[in-house]
Amino acid sequence: MRAKYLCALSVLFMGPALSFTGNTPVSKQGGVQAAQITTVTSAVPGVLMQKTSSGEINWTDGYVATSGEGKIIKGPNLRICDSMARRAALLDAQAKVLRMVQGIRLDGTMTVKESIARNQRLFYGLKGLIARVRAFDQHKNKGVYIVRIRVPLYGTRGIQGIFHDEYVKSGSGRARQTRTRCVVIDARGTGLTPALFIKIKDQTGRDVYSTRDVAVSDLLNKGMAVYVTSTALQQDDVEVKALRAAGPQHSDIVVSFADADRLKSVDGSLPACPVVVIADPFTE
């Protein structure tokens, strides 16, 4: 589990006709609709898991996962029939992920859906990223081919990487050092919604931690923070209590003036330490 070893180990981190059994709604404009977000509590302690109508978003381990189905149409060549059903299942899963990620918050002001509506290049980049994903699990069940796929949230081949050039104007912060020390932001009780690009602000709205403070290599490869529902603090960790969540998407974190000064004084630069955000688990 990504967050579990983050502090302890010092690292933050087209072809023949196809038959679908999945339901992938398409908007009148031809774009895929965003998946409706529902919420459930993860069964794994500490993991912040968000369920949607199409799959799951794991904010701790950093991936979006779903399954797709393709009906196996009987024919004289069983291998071709299986191949077509598997292709249909993969496309079904990819379409579901495309719906799901549109509901993800980029930051406290904007969702992925709102961003790609402004820039179609981002939509095609996202679509291309998902199209390159392959199944990590597949099996047949009662005449249906089922596949499961995962798309990383972070990394150069992850969702965050698609929006980096458009969203991040500069990233000149220090690279994170290999250490056991972490900055832990306790945002429980604030109604915080996870986002790909987080901001920590003081009570006047001044940025304490943003994309400008993070080295590009860290931002692309590790993300800005790990979200968990609980964590075991280490002796050298710096813990800060969030006052509230801010922004239209409730994804920005507001801390007190005193805590803002503490964060800025952590070895002279907060981004030098991995950031862990403790959030409330999603509930039904």
pLDDT at res. 44: 53
236 and 256, same domain (yes or no): yes
Instruction: Using the 3D structure, point to which of 119, 141, 162 is the last residue of a domain.
Output: 162
pLDDT at res. 266: 67
150 and 220, same domain (yes or no): no
91 and 230, same domain (yes or no): no
112-116, 178-182, 213-217, 247-251: segment of lowest average pLDDT: 178-182
243-253 per-residue burial string, b: 16 or more CB within 10 A, e: under 16: bebbbebbbbb
SS3 state of residue 238: strand
Instruction: Using the 3D structure, point to which of 113, 142, 162 is the last residue of a domain.
Output: 162
CB 33 within 8 A of CB 94: no
H/E stretch holding 254: strand 252-254
175 and 152, same domain (yes or no): no
Establish if 7 belongs to a structural domain.
no
8-22, 191-205, 209-223, 256-270: segment of lowest average pLDDT: 8-22
For 116, the token pair is 């790609």
Establish if 4 belongs to a structural domain.
no
Compute the average pLDDT of residues 247-268: 87
pLDDT, averaged across the chain: 80
pLDDT over threshold 60, residue 62: yes
152 and 180, same domain (yes or no): no
User: How much of the chain, in percent, has pLDDT values that exceed 70?
Assistant: 77
pLDDT at res. 264: 81
CB 48 within 8 A of CB 282: yes
For 251, the token pair is 């994804």
Establish if 5 belongs to a structural domain.
no
In 3D space, the residue among 177, 142, 168 whose CA is nearest the CA of residue 271 turns out to be 177
126 and 198, same domain (yes or no): no
Establish if 241 belongs to a structural domain.
yes
CB 98 within 8 A of CB 22: no
Domain extent, residue 33, equals: 14-162
Q: What domain count does the chain have?
A: 2
| E strands, 131-225, in order | 137-141, 144-152, 183-186, 200-201, 207-209
Residue 199: phi, psi to the nearest 5? -130, 135
116 and 212, same domain (yes or no): no
pLDDT over threshold 50, residue 17: no
51 and 76, same domain (yes or no): yes
Instruction: Using the 3D structure, point to which of 107, 127, 162 is the last residue of a domain.
Output: 162
Between 238 and 215, residue with greater pLDDT: 238
Compute the average pLDDT of residues 10-14: 32
Establish if 284 belongs to a structural domain.
no
Establish if 6 belongs to a structural domain.
no
Establish if 251 belongs to a structural domain.
yes
Between 176 and 92, residue with greater pLDDT: 92
99 and 174, same domain (yes or no): no
Compute the average pLDDT of residues 84-105: 96
Q: Which amino acid is at 21?
A: T
Establish if 73 belongs to a structural domain.
yes
Work out the number of other CB atoms within 10 angstroms of the CB of residue 15.
8
41 and 149, same domain (yes or no): yes
Q: Is the pTM of this model over 0.75?
A: yes
pLDDT over threshold 60, residue 108: yes
User: Which band of pLDDT confidence, cut at 50, 70 and 90, is reported for residue 29?
Assistant: very low
174 and 141, same domain (yes or no): no
User: Which band of pLDDT confidence, cut at 50, 70 and 90, is reported for residue 283?
Assistant: confident
SS3 state of residue 270: helix
174 and 158, same domain (yes or no): no
In 3D space, the residue among 135, 132, 13, 38 whose CA is nearest the CA of residue 85 turns out to be 135
Give the tens place of pLDDT for each residue, 213-222: 887 777 877 7
